[in-house]
Amino acid sequence: MEKIKEVIIVEGRYDKNAISQVVDTLILETSGFGIFSDREKLALIRKLAQVRGIIVFTDSDSAGFMIRNFLKGSIPNEMIKHAYIPDIRGKERRKRAASKEGKLGVEGMDSETLLSALRKAGATFENMKKNELGKLTLQDMFFEGFSGGKNSSGRRKKLLKKLELPERLSTTALVDIMNSLYSREESIHILRGVE
C-alpha cells in the first residue's frame, strides 16, 4: 500500500472503503450533498487543503460533478487536485440496480483503476516508512484525559472548539485529523493546553 500526502475527499463510506484498500492517507466523506450545508466540514476541508492539499475523488455522474464543482469553487485552485474515474457501465455489487446514469462509481472500481486515477491527478506518493512514535495515538488521548475518563467528553468538546473542528468528530477521526495538521509534539502541547 502506498502513502499519499494529500487528503482524499469522497462522497460516501463505500468510496472511502474502496480507496482505503489502495492507499494510506486521510479520507473524508462529503456525505453526498450534505457538504452543501455542512459549514463545519467545509471549514475542516479548507484547513486540510491549506496544510496538505486535497484530492477530490467523486463519481463520474452528475451528482459527483456537482459536489466536485462545489468544492472547486470553495477551495483555492492551487490546493486542490481532481481524480477522475472512467465511465464504465454497470452496477456495484451491493446495489440492486444500477445508478440513474448506469455508471459504476468510485466504489465499483478495481484497485488499479483507482491508483491510476490518483497518479493522473498528480497525487504526491510518499515513502511508506512510518515512524509511529511521531504520531498522536488513541493511547495518548486516553493518557491526556480525552477518552475513557470521567470528563473526557467535555474535554474533547473544548478541544474541538479550540481547533475549530466539528463537535461530532469521533476520537479516532480527531486523532487522524490532528496527525494531518500537527506533529506529535505539537499535538501533545495542544492537548495539555486544554483546561
Boundary (domain end) residue, out of 126, 153, 182:
126
Boundary (domain end) residue, out of 68, 94, 126:
126
Average pLDDT, the chain: 90
pLDDT tops 60 at residue 126: yes
130 pLDDT band, cuts 50/70/90, is very low
Considering its fold, how many domains does the chain have in total?
A: 2
Residues 31 and 109 in one domain: yes
Boundary (domain end) residue, out of 106, 126, 146:
126
pLDDT tens by residue, 32-78: 999 999 999 999 999 999 999 999 999 988 999 999 999 999 999 99
Q: Which residues form the domain of 150?
A: 132-192
Residues 108 and 136 in one domain: no
CA distance 181 to 48: 7
Mean pLDDT for the stretch of residues 18-32? 95
133 pLDDT band, cuts 50/70/90, is low
Residues 169 and 147 in one domain: yes
Residues 52 and 136 in one domain: no
Residues 138 and 51 in one domain: no
Specify the pLDDT at position 183: 87
**DSSP H stretches of helix in the chain:** 13-20, 39-51, 62-74, 111-121, 138-143, 152-162, 171-181, 184-192
Residues 72 and 161 in one domain: no
